[in-house]
Amino acid sequence: MMDQKQEMVDDVMDDLMDDEIDDEEEEEIDQVVSQVLDEIGAQAPARAAVALGGGGAGNVGLDATGDEDELQARLNSLKKGT
């Protein structure tokens, strides 16, 4: 009885591991991931690379004036809090 259960579990695990994602499923996954990232306010990978100090091309895609103003306002707010 235990051997049968173990064999069934092994078969199910093998089936799950062998499943490949087709192009249609991959597109759907990409759409869901993009939607989630948009909902949580995540930035495009290029902006993330710049924020991490990379990006190579400077402030590509950044609105420097708006970002600086926002950062300055946040800094001022923090200074007032202390």
d(CA 74, CA 82): 13
Which residue in 70, 64, 61, 66 sits closest to 43, CA to CA? Answer: 61
Would you say 55 and 49 are in contact if contact means Cβ atoms under 8 Å apart? yes
Q: Domain residue spans in the chain?
A: 40-82
- CB neighbour list of residue 60: distance below 8 Å, 6 or more residues apart: 46, 50
Question: Which pLDDT tens digit goes with each residue over 66-82?
Answer: 788 888 888 888 888 75
Q: How far apart are the first and last CA of the chain?
A: 69
pLDDT in tens, 8-35: 888 888 877 776 667 788 888 888 988 8
